């Protein structure tokens, strides 16, 4: 705002003159109203009563105008606040979850697992050849792409083309293998990578979380090899969602059934949201 030769701020003087003029006019009209009411009530006392709300509103209006003008002079909103808030909100994306199924009867629940996660996150799915005996592809969510071993090299034509197991590893925030069969557990613990799923695991960036939910017969679960393999994947930083005891598909009763999809989902989501905080 330009200053006068004497150093006065013209804008500050003008704003105060406007405020003074507005206040004076309001007080003038309030005074007229009061005098009118007083003279009327002198001859007709009951006539003053209807004027009281009018007087109250005029004084209230005067106070409101002063508050608004003082607020405008003392406070300036940041120019792009709304735009900045919109940009922050639009930048927040959904978690990216890579779900994988290996060859276990529990893979019949894989579609249900995908539905649980797809309500909260972006989901892509991987299935081994053996798991396709049990996975119901038709029941999968429509927006979930299921990748199999056949897709591993089908899109690769020449050096420089994308490699699927690397692209999926880059895309995912978290990987969840459910069910994890005894065979795939042994492969991961031994570092084998002979299909799409195990290639992703072998290429995994272990700064990102991975969860496994084993499913196998009770005696397979209690086998000494299983304990060794679990210790091996624990050393990699892979988190275990342990199996539960129930009547298994083979008819045996005991530990080895995959945890329910809802429990797997809630465990992963709680971990993710706790870590984000």
Q: How far apart are CA 4 and CA 89, in angstroms?
A: 46
DSSP 8-state code for residue 190: H
Q: How crowded is residue 22: how many other Cβ atoms within 10 Å of its Cβ?
A: 14
Whole-Å CA distances, 96 to 86, 120, 144: 22, 9, 12
Distance between alpha carbon 144 and the CA centroid of its chain, in Å? 18
- Sign, CA dihedral 132-135-140-143, equals negative
**E strands in 7-134:** 96-101, 122-127
| CATH no. of 95-276 | 3.40.50.1950
* pLDDT recorded at residue 8: 53
List average pLDDT for each run of 10 residues in the chain, which is 277 residues long.
52 62 59 50 43 45 48 46 43 91 97 97 98 97 97 87 96 98 98 98 97 97 98 98 94 95 98 90
Q: How many C-alpha atoms does 14 have within 13 Å on its Cβ side?
A: 7
Active-site positions read 165, 250
CB 125 within 8 A of CB 147: yes
Q: Nearest CA to 244 among 260, 227, 261, 231?
A: 260
* pLDDT recorded at residue 154: 85
DSSP string, 254-275: EEEEPPPHHHHHHHHHHHHHHH
């Amino acid at each position: 705002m330009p200053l006068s030769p004497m150093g006065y701020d013209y804008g500050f003087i003008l704003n105060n003159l406007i405020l003074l003029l507005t206040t004076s006019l309001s007080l003038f009209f309030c005074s007229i109203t009061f005098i009118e009411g007083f003279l009327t009530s002198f001859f007709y006392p009951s006539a003053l009563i209807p004027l009281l709300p009018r007087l109250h509103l005029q004084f209230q209006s005067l106070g409101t105008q002063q508050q608004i003008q003082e607020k405008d002079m003392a406070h300036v909103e940041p120019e792009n606040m709304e735009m900045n808030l919109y940009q922050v909100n639009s930048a927040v994306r959904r978690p990216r979850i890579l779900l994988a199924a290996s060859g276990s009867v529990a893979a019949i629940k894989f579609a249900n697992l995908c539905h649980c996660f797809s309500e909260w996150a972006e989901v892509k799915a991987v299935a081994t050849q053996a798991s396709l005996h049990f996975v119901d592809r038709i029941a999968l969510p429509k927006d979930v792409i299921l990748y199999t071993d056949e897709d591993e090299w089908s899109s690769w034509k020449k050096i420089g083309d994308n490699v699927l197991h690397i692209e999926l590893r880059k895309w995912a925030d978290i990987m969840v293998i459910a069910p994890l069969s005894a065979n795939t557990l042994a492969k991961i613990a031994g570092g084998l990578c002979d299909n799409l799923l195990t290639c992703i695991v072998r290429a995994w960036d272990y700064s990102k979380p991975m969860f496994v939910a084993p499913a196998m017969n009770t005696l397979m679960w209690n086998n000494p090899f299983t304990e060794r393999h679990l210790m091996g994947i624990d050393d990699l930083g892979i988190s275990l969602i342990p199996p539960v005891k129930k009547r298994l598909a083979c008819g045996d009763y005991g530990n080895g059934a995959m945890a329910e999809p809802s429990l797997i989902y809630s465990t992963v989501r709680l971990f993710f949201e706790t870590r984000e905080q």
